[in-house]
């Protein structure tokens, strides 16, 4: 049928973009691992212990980066195959949100942003899928830091309006061109102004699907060179 052909065409395009993305994005961490391993191989016996540990840490960071990319690809595969499971449990949001901020900051040890969580004290326990919630906000927070290379504030505000919990992630980064916002949640899409900031274009596609599974919605407000704000209502 026509619908089946369209779906097949869409999947082929996704596969093509995936091959292109992985060959490009994996090259950097692989090159880093190789050069670090060669440094240890040829000069390891002459390097001070502290420098050796730095080289080992560089290798570990590169492996973690590749693992995160593969995890996102696998998760996106589950989304496309409609195999992504929604398993809600009663969650206390305050400690979860605090840990999300800590984890996001730890991903960017050289980041210049000040990350602040403003969590309403009266947030009620509610039914969320913790795994998906972590995917949503680890992506949004890490993007806010990553796309703010000159620093500035990153705010993570969480409040309850009586019927839904409203999560807002705001930054003072490079922003997103207005004409590209409608494509933001497509797999492998990256804004044209990201320059040499590395990324896969997978994160926001997963964010959107995770929000949809919660029956929520996500909106974006952005101005180039001023910053971006994502609002998630669950």
Quick one: average pLDDT of 67-78? 74
- The reply to whether 138 and 48 lie within a common domain is no
Report pLDDT for 38. Answer: 94
Find the CATH number of the domain harbouring 200.
3.30.565.10
DSSP result, 35-68: HHHHHHHHHTTTS-HHHHHHHHHHHHHHHHHHHH
Same domain membership, residue 211 and residue 176: yes
User: Distances in Å between the alpha carbon of 72 and those of 4, 38, 65, 111, 124?
Assistant: 26, 29, 11, 22, 30
CATH of the domain at 7: 1.10.287.130
The values of phi and psi at residue 121, to 5°, are -70, -20
User: Is 170:144 a contact under the CB 8 Å cutoff?
Assistant: yes
Which structural domain range is residue 56 located in? 2-80
CB-based contacts of 216: which residues, under 8 Å, 6+ apart? 164, 232, 233, 234
3-state secondary structure 8-43: HHHHHHHHHHHHHHHHHHCHHHHHHHHHHHHHHHHH
Give per-residue pLDDT as tens, 20-59.
666 667 777 888 899 999 999 999 889 999 999 999 998 9
Percentage, residues of the chain above pLDDT 90? 41
State how far the Cα of 34 lies from the Cα of 18, in Å rounded to an integer: 23
Same domain, 148 and 181: yes
How many domains would you assign to the chain?
2
């Amino acid at each position: 049928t026509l619908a089946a052909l369209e779906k097949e065409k869409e999947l082929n395009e996704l596969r093509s973009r995936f091959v292109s993305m992985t060959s490009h994005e994996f090259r950097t961490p692989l090159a880093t691992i190789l050069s670090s391993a060669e440094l240890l191989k040829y000069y390891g016996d002459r390097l001070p212990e502290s420098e050796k540990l730095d080289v080992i840490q560089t290798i570990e960071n590169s492996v973690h980066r590749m693992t995160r990319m593969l995890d996102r690809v696998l998760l996106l595969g589950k989304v496309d195959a409609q195999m992504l499971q929604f398993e809600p449990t009663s969650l206390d949001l305050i400690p979860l949100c605090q840990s999300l901020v800590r984890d996001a900051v730890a991903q960017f040890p050289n980041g210049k942003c000040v990350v602040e969580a403003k969590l309403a004290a009266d947030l009620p326990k509610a039914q969320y899928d913790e795994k998906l919630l972590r995917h949503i906000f680890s992506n949004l927070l890490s993007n806010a830091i990553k796309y703010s290379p000159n620093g500035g504030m990153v705010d993570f505000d969480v409040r309850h309006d009586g019927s839904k919990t409203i999560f807002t992630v705001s930054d003072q980064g490079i922003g997103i061109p207005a004409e590209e916002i409608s494509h933001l949640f497509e797999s492998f899409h990256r804004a044209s102004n990201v320059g040499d900031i590395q990324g896969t274009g997978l994160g926001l596609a997963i964010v959107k699907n995770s929000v949809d599974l919660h029956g929520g919605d996500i909106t974006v407000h952005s101005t180039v060179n001023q910053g971006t704000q994502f609002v998630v209502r669950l």
